[in-house]
Structure 1
Amino acid sequence: PTSQRCAGAAFVPVQYGLYSSFMGCFVYCFLGTAKDVTLGPTAIMSLLVSSYAFHQPVYAILLAFLAGCIQLAMGLLHLGFLLDFISCPVIKGFTSAASITISFSQIKNILGLQGIPRQFFLQVYETLRRIGETRAGDAVLGLACLAVLAGLQAMKSRLPRAACAEPLAARVSYLIVWTSATARNALVVLFAGLVAYSFQVMGSQPLTLTGSIPQGLPAFRLPRFSMAAPNGTVTFRSMVEDMGIGLAVVPLMGLLETVAIAKAFASQNDYRIDPNQELLAMGFANILGSFVSSYPITGSFGR
């Protein structure tokens, strides 16, 4: 579900979120220097992809390939020190703005609104203007899931630790509550899926469903370096020109996000990371990921 949500934020079909989820993990476990980091689609990177891929999977996959090549070249040239010149206020400002944008972009899905523009201010305007078109089923289920998630998280944070001297029933109850709170995301997804399936079986579906997703793994092949268009063929040079500054922003932000997370875990768990090696790992992960239809990936605290 996280990968599908990220694909939605990138404005590409949901299966591309799944395609982006597995290759990076295999590559990073051999080349990465942070034992606590895993790679995959993230909300911030998906927001960048939506800006530079123009809702086209071909652009998104090629962007992953080119970003990986740039990261790999930076690693070979030992340019990891460049991260020191990106200030914390810039990072925090971008992250905060991205969080607000991504959070608000999910409101239309909770309310079941269709055809909302992707530009932030237009999203706000259209969502408020069409609030009366809210689908009751989507809103009730979405808000119920949010309430359950928040409740289980609060329950876990306030749960006292069970002592060995306590009765068996108390320890079992603690284990059940702790397990439910820890696995809250999976439980909520399972519950929502069962609700949607129940309505589908009864022949009345008040919920907006994701729809069918292509089965199986994508073919392992080079990304496409051109794209068919109604008025001809978009050449590789035109695609690169369309991406523009994204070819610098995407690889740098991907590395920045990964290294920031890696440094946080490294200081907490007492080990060191190598930014240049992280560049190599990210580069290979994005290049090989593009061979399985992945868009640019990075690390995240949530993952």
Structure 2
Amino acid sequence: MRRNSEFHHVTNQHRTERNMMAETLRRGLARCCSVATLRSRLPVLTWLPAYRLMWLKMDVLAGLTVGLTAIPQALAYAEVAGLPVQYGLYSSFIGGFVYCVFGTSRDITLGPTAIMSLLCLLYVRGDPVYAVVLTLLCGIIQISMAILRLGFLLDFISFPVIKGFTCAAAVTIGFGQVKNILGVKDIPQQFFLQVYYTFQKLPEARVGDVILGLSCFCFLTMMMKMKSSLDSLEDNTFLVVKMSQGLVWTLATIRNALVVIAATCVAYSAEVMGHSFFTLTGKTAEGLPPFSAPPLSEMTANGTTVSFSEIVKDMGGGLAVIPLMGVLESIAIAKAFGSKNNYRIDANQELFAIGLTNILGSFVSAYPVTGSFGRTAVNSQTGVCTPAGGIVTSTVVLLSLAFLMPMFSFIPKASLAAVIICAVAPMIELGVPPHIWRVRKLDLLPFSVTFLLSFWEVQYGIVGGVLISGFMLLYLMARPELKVTDHGVLVMELEVDSIFLPLSTSVISCAHVHYTSLLLSVCC
């Protein structure tokens, strides 16, 4: 009888456990299949049912404006990445379709950027197969981070490290285009050698490229100044003044497209008359890219095959640096504009959207993409209402690929160089070191280490800055300051100064963050 009682007790216990597990599983499935969860995974379901006709008008206008900005920038950034110019356009249209469904920011636009192009140049070295494989692997890594909810890792890249890297990258990218302004060739990619050989080959500069490049640069600078001056003007009630300001703003917004179109017409006219004054982009592939599985191996010129494992080995640290920097740049921009326009974003959902964009992009020969600050600013200023504006931008890029590719071969490299230099110039923020000095002098150390090492190798700059920041944090945690006050109550307060700023804070300001570890109150 006793054994039977114990048997029934164990059986009932097992049955109870199974019922509890079944109930937990049922609740989990119900939660996963709920409308709230579906909307969080597919943000398009949140804004699409409430879509209005007025929104369509604003989205189309913003999409067209961003599209005219994206095309010349894509061509220029492909040049930075060392790839044929059509690869910039291949990388510019998938993001609009994917982000419209899975993104949580209405302003952000995904595509090639200056920093990602520079990183790709360092790791793929102009090989399109390597670039496509890198895109696929970046997407897989980013989606894995989203599934594991690892977005918090980005907080370990502090404000000084971010600013040190972006300033160094802007200098590297900008100076790297001087050779195209001068029209000289055979310049090494390593920064210090690049500086040496660029000055050494000054006597070989082509007059046509120099004149065209400087003319484009002056025009772009003038239009940028005119656009910035509009912000300081007071609102005027006169219709003529408003129309004039709107015309200036529109021309300044699409200034990159205007410069490239004008330079292409000049170069084409010279070629027709039999004169080769300018260094041209050269022959480009025509039409849309084929939708096919990304290549996982490569046949070299001497007939040997480079396997997938060898490609991965050659990329090395790029498989860590590029996915992290891509996510960091995109989420930073999304949080900044979300705060400005009063909406919230989901960092892990942004990770998923970027990862999926890169995975699908590898099927159309794209190289890694991320959020673009310049194009996102244009999108926001034009008054975009929903992520549907990205569909219009992607359509404009697809139309250019389908019908304008033969004309792209006549684009002078000097005009693209001017576009790139003007795009990265604002990233060189001379006011950052004094600002860091006023807020926290010690933070100049990781900033300086990152800035200087990035001229040697970008990954060394980032890793060096993160390590210095980590050591500083550990030192402060090991020796916290003890603050004792006595105002009738004895208060002992341990303070730890954190040099790691949250990503959203690092974009907007360089606030000093204090974490109170312990507060003891003892009555006297």
Is TM-score (shorter-chain normalized) higher than 0.5? yes
Establish whether residue 186 from structure 1 lines up as the match of residue 257 from structure 2: yes
Match of 2:203 in 1: 132
Establish whether residue 164 from structure 1 lines up as the match of residue 237 from structure 2: yes
> Which residue, out of 320, 328, 341, partners 1:269?
341
Establish whether residue 197 from structure 1 lines up as the match of residue 197 from structure 2: no
Instruction: Provide Cα deviations, 1:9-60, integer angstroms capped at 9, x if missing partner.
Output: 1111111111111111211111111111111111101111111113211011
Instruction: Provide Cα deviations, 1:63-89, integer angstroms capped at 9, x if missing partner.
Output: 000110010111111111111121111
User: Which has the larger Rg?
Assistant: 2
Match for 2:183: what amino acid? G
User: Which whole-Å CA distance do the structure 2 matches of 1:42 and 1:178 have between them?
Assistant: 23
> Which residue, out of 221, 224, 237, partners 2:309?
237
Q: 1:61/1:158 Cα in 2 relative to 1: closer, same or farther (>3 Å)?
A: same
Match for 1:7: what amino acid? A
> Which residue, out of 213, 225, 232, partners 2:284?
213
Match of 1:65 in 2: 136
User: Which whole-Å CA distance do the structure 2 matches of 1:288 and 1:16 have between them?
Assistant: 14
1:1-303 matches, within 5 Å, as 1-159=72-230, 160=233, 163-165=236-238, 168=240, 173-229=244-300, 230=302, 232-303=304-375
Match for 1:188: what amino acid? V
Instruction: Provide Cα deviations, 1:169-220, integer angstroms capped at 9, x if missing partner.
Output: x555444444333332222222212211221222112011111211111111
Greater RCO structure (CA 8 Å; 6+ sep): 1
Return structure 1 stretches of 4+ with deviation > 6 angstroms.
none
Between Structure 1 and Structure 2, how many residues are aligned? Answer: 301
**8 Å CA contact 1:162, 1:174 repeated in 2:** no
User: Which whole-Å CA distance do the structure 2 matches of 1:55 and 1:180 have between them?
Assistant: 34
Instruction: Provide Cα deviations, 1:259-300, integer angstroms capped at 9, x if missing partner.
Output: 011111011011111111011101100000000000111011
Q: Provide the TM-score with structure 2 as the length reference.
A: 0.56
Match of 2:427 in 1: none
SS of residue paired to 1:272? coil
User: Which whole-Å CA distance do the structure 1 matches of 2:195 and 2:165 have between them?
Assistant: 19
User: Which whole-Å CA distance do the structure 1 matches of 2:142 and 2:249 have between them?
Assistant: 41
Q: Provide the TM-score with structure 1 as the length reference.
A: 0.95
Match for 1:222: what amino acid? A
Choose 283-292 or 14-23, whichever is displaced more.
14-23
User: Which whole-Å CA distance do the structure 2 matches of 1:171 and 1:79 have between them?
Assistant: 48
Choose 260-269 or 171-180, whichever is displaced more.
171-180
Which ranges in structure 1 are unaligned for 5 or more consecutive residues? none
SS of residue paired to 1:302? helix
Q: 1:226/1:175 Cα in 2 relative to 1: closer, same or farther (>3 Å)?
A: closer
**8 Å CA contact 1:42, 1:298 repeated in 2:** yes
Q: 1:201/1:133 Cα in 2 relative to 1: closer, same or farther (>3 Å)?
A: same
Superposition RMSD on alpha carbons, in Å?
A: 1.6
Give identity over the alignment, percent: 58
Match for 2:204: what amino acid? E
